[in-house]
Chain A
Amino acid sequence: MSKKNKKVTEDSLTKLNAIKPATNAIFNVIFALLAIICFTPIIFIFIISITDNNVIKQQGYQFFVTAKTFSGAAYSYLWSQRATILQALWVSIYVTVLGTVIGVVLTALMGYVLSRKEHKLNNFLTILIFIPMVFGGGMAATYVVNTQILHMYDTMWILILPLAVSSFNVTIARTFFRTTIPDSIIESARIDGASQWTIFFKIVVPVSKPVLATIGLFLAFGYWNDWFQAKLYISSDNLRSLQSMLNQMQASMDYLTKNPTALLGDSAALRNAMPAESARMAIAFIVAVPIACIYPFFQKYFISGLTVGAVKG
């Protein structure tokens, strides 16, 4: 009876504390509008990509497509250029997968070592990862080092290595290891004669899958979306990722017609045949759509990663 009473009080409290239905309706409208503003552009470029090019030429980009103005020419054109696009897709996937693996390993190793407070170099390593958080060499010095000392200009490595580690991710890993893995477990494993190597791979990694997945996701999205490294350091077309290809296209609007692999015959005829406007938007769409489809499933890891990172230590 008293339990029931308590529940009734709580319910009425929540009800009492709820906003009025009218206010709720207004707030819902505001958020619906914001959500539409955030999501509309991707739908818009999809509609452009399936609109007939002549219609675009005459009337500009339309937000609605009818049976009359519909055209799949952009996508059949992209299909005819699949060699170029698949190569870019391959670079994107290769860089993302390899970079994420390297990044997670390097981050987890450093995070684990930093979480061991009894380590003699703990202070030194903490400072080592802290300084780059507040000070950096800047774009020019980094460019000189990458090209003239490390000789990575126009190689796959320049797309992978510089983005592999960030002090932010290392801090997330360290905080996680410190707060979730009891010292007693590591202590007892050491007494049993396990090396740190064994402890790391047999004990720490298996229980740290959530944080490693979060860091992996941060890295994977970072690699997939990166275009800046390629803009500065890549000149060969076969090292261009999808993002970089899109960026390149922006720089020279007729990238595909210029591309040697895209030359099937007379380039002028090809240029006329290419559904320029809709094809460009079609590429932008196929670059954006994989992420737009999968991020809802990973959203919560991004938030948890940030809240873990907010815990200083």
Chain B
Amino acid sequence: MSEQKTAKAAKPEKTPKLTKDRKIKWTRDDTELTILALPTTVWYILFCYLPMFGIIIAFKDYSLTAGKGFLGSLMDSPWVGLKNFKYFFGLRDFPMVLRNTILYNLVFIVLDIALPVGLAMIINNLHSKKASKFYQTLMFMPHFMSWVVVSYFVYAFLVTDKGLLNAIIRACGGKNIGWYTTGKYWPAILIFMHVWKTLGYSMVVYLASITGIDTSMYEAAVLDGANKTQQAFYITLPSLKPIIIMMFILSVGHIFSSDFGLFYQVSQGANQPLTPYVATLDVKTYLMLTSPSVTLGQTSAASMFQAVVGCITILLANGIVRKVDKSSALI
């Protein structure tokens, strides 16, 4: 808004014709800007839009014919309608992976807001700023570790015969637990690892918003006799509302997607008997993609299902937020 105003003000009033021409006519400027945007536009077409077009193979019985290339093979392969989707929805695993994906995400949405916001409000009140910085830095570390490295960390704690956790259990008089062969522990392990990896980062992000809140509000509150809890509920939380809503929309929009590294890598390949507890849509798609008995069309149907429902949820979540509070909506 303000930029438009300044742009208008910059143009002299006495040449309205020029301004009008500018709006309609394609200028040298437009050409130059288009050229500047060209490389990135090409990137978007190749790496984002071609795959969207590639979804078409979900409706075909596609296989690559040697020497014909992608387009030739695509033309040759017959349309099969919704057959690939029927295959995917008919899989015995389908309800399970769908349930896992949604349930894990619901837990993550709650924890990813409650824990970091709570901790950010607490760490902001520590007396020593130095200690606060120190904790933040250490808690930020997991964010920079890849899931491959993290899976080695987890392995060192969980592996049955040598792991630290079993050593502790033995020292307490218990028996070895086969963590990598017992599925029921994995929801807890994966939720813990997710929180472990994201907590520090999210906390620091919320903390950045908290430190941006006008301190005079707190001063006024203290003079009015508000205690710490009241300040948290009547000043801090309302001030954080926009960023919390934004994070909420983003995570609701991603309710059908999952962090492949967490679910596949940390569980050492999501093999049986862990599969019913750790397999999500992304893990399933990967397993279908790498399995020789599943066709590319069938895998594409799985991908497309995920992409379409994901798109619908993000637009829906945004629409609801827009209804409730227009300024908080993302789009």
Contacts and interface: CB of A to CB of B under 8 A. Distances in A.
B200 A38 contact: yes
Interface string B134-159: 11111111111111111111001101
B304 A138 contact: yes
B135 A32 contact: yes
A103 B209 CA distance: 28
A119 B30 contact: yes
Contacts of A61: 156, 159, 162-164, 167
B296 interface: yes
A63 B164 contact: yes
B98 to A, nearest CB: 15
Interface of B: 3-4, 6-7, 10, 22, 26, 29-30, 32-37, 39-41, 43-44, 46-55, 57-58, 62, 64, 69-70, 73, 119, 122-123, 125-128, 131-132, 134-153, 156-157, 159, 161-164, 166-167, 196, 199-201, 204-205, 208-209, 218-219, 222-223, 228, 231, 243, 246, 253, 260-261, 265, 268-269, 282, 285-286, 288-289, 296, 299-300, 302-304, 306-308, 310-311, 314-315, 330-331
Given A61-B156, A303-B205, A39 B138 contact: yes
Contact of B30 (A18, A63, A121, A225): A121
B7 A118 contact: yes
A288 B141 CA distance: 10
A48 interface: yes
A113 B32 CA distance: 10
A90 interface: no
A119 B139 contact: no
A228 B141 CA distance: 21
A227 B307 contact: no
Q: Find the residue from A21, A36, A132, A143 having the highest chain B CB count within 10 A.
A: A143
Interface of A: 10, 13, 16-19, 21, 24, 27-28, 30-32, 34-39, 41-42, 44-45, 48, 56, 60-61, 63, 105-107, 109-110, 112-114, 116-121, 125, 128-132, 134-145, 148-150, 161-162, 164-165, 170, 178, 182-184, 187, 190, 195-197, 200, 221, 225-228, 232, 243, 246-247, 250-251, 277, 280-281, 284, 287-288, 291-292, 295-296, 299, 302-303, 306-307, 310, 312
B139 A132 contact: no
A121 to B, nearest CB: 6
Given A60-B167, A117-B7, A112 B36 contact: yes
29 contacts: A18-B125, A28-B131, A31-B139, A34-B139, A38-B141, A41-B150, A60-B161, A61-B167, A107-B40, A117-B4, A130-B331, A137-B303, A138-B303, A138-B307, A148-B64, A149-B50, A149-B70, A150-B50, A165-B40, A170-B40, A196-B36, A225-B144, A228-B260, A243-B148, A246-B152, A250-B152, A288-B149, A292-B145, A299-B204
Given A17-B219, A60-B167, A183-B3, 6 more contacts: A45-B152, A117-B7, A136-B48, A138-B304, A141-B51, A295-B141
A13 B224 CA distance: 12
B314 A134 contact: yes
B282 to A, nearest CB: 7
B44 A128 contact: yes
Chain A interface secondary structure, helix, strand, loop or mixed?
A: helix
A97 to B, nearest CB: 18
A184 B52 contact: no
A183 B10 contact: yes
Contact of A13 (B147, B219, B260): B219
B138 A145 contact: no
Contacts, number: 309
A120 B146 CA distance: 42
B303 to A, nearest CB: 2
A18 B314 CA distance: 41
Nearest to A195: B32
Nearest to A292: B141
A129 B44 contact: yes
B204 to A, nearest CB: 6
Contacts of B231: 17
A182 B43 CA distance: 29
Contacts of A162: 47
A110 B40 contact: yes
Contacts of B311: 134-135
A307 B243 CA distance: 10
A140 B52 contact: no
Given A60-B162, A125-B37, A144-B54, A138 B126 contact: no
B55 A45 contact: no
